[in-house]
Chain A
Amino acid sequence: DTGVSQDPRHKITKRGQNVTFRCDPISEHNRLYWYRQTLGQGPEFLTYFQNEAQLEKSRLLSDRFSAERPKGSFSTLEIQRTEQGDSAMYLCASSLNRNGYTFGSGTRLTVV
């Protein structure tokens, strides 16, 4: 296990389509996080899981966004009815307990 894996690396979609991203965390990490990063900005927190429980969601996570971590291992982030404003890098991170996040390389979403 060499790190946090995200798939796909790039996604181009038409406005109004649904997209789903996958994150595979470091296997022994019990916490998994999703962040969004727009160009020239720091990552912004979206949500996090401890094992399979989703413990916190940002107000940035509108009702078009949903995240799951069904068996406490990999996670998916789905965006329904994509908008141009959803274009960003979506980053996944994992950690063992509270500190020491390891980030993946992200999924770059472009909504056209």
Chain B
Amino acid sequence: QQQVKQSPQSLIVQKGGISIINCAYENTAFDYFPWYQQFPGKGPALLIAIRPDVSEKKEGRFTISFNKSAKQFSLHIMDSQPGDSATYFCAAHISNTGKLIFGQGTTLQVKP
């Protein structure tokens, strides 16, 4: 019940295209949903985050769409660039704990 399921495992997109990564959860105690970007040899870096009382949040080329009733959320990367090639993790924070539960990750490759 504390899992966050992420798909796809890998994604190849042409430069300028839209990258879409999906996550699903079961635990209604999750109260904060961040996305992280990780490059090889580096720690995850916070990209964008959303709370469940908001259906969409946009920051530059990155948008989170959140569907509370379906318990799903997704990351959209518009105008994908080769520099976006990285591993992306969705995560969910459990209310009143310090714990983030991460998805399994999506490796994105943006072809020039």
Contacts and interface: CB of A to CB of B under 8 A. Distances in A.
Interface string B33-68: 010100001111110010000000000000000000
Interface residues on B, range: 20 to 34
B99 A48 contact: yes
B42 A45 contact: no
A25 interface: no
Contacts of A100: 46, 49
Contacts of A42: 6, 89, 91, 102-105
B45 A41 contact: no
Nearest to B104: A42
A98 B44 contact: no
Given A104-B43, A105-B43, A98 B104 contact: no
A99 interface: yes
Interface in A22-52: 31, 33, 35, 40-45, 48, 50
Interface of A: 4, 31, 33, 35, 40-45, 48, 50, 55-56, 91, 93, 98-106
Contacts of A105: 41-43
Given A50-B98, A98-B32, A103 B104 contact: no
Interface string B65-106: 000000000000000000000000101010001111111110
Contact of B32 (A4, A91, A99): A99
18 contacts: A4-B43, A41-B104, A41-B105, A42-B89, A42-B91, A44-B102, A48-B99, A55-B98, A56-B99, A91-B44, A98-B93, A99-B34, A99-B49, A99-B93, A102-B46, A103-B43, A104-B43, A105-B43
A43 B98 CA distance: 14
A91 B43 contact: yes
Given A42-B89, A106-B42, 14 more contacts: A33-B98, A41-B104, A41-B105, A42-B91, A42-B102, A43-B89, A43-B100, A45-B99, A56-B97, A56-B98, A91-B44, A98-B98, A101-B46, A103-B36
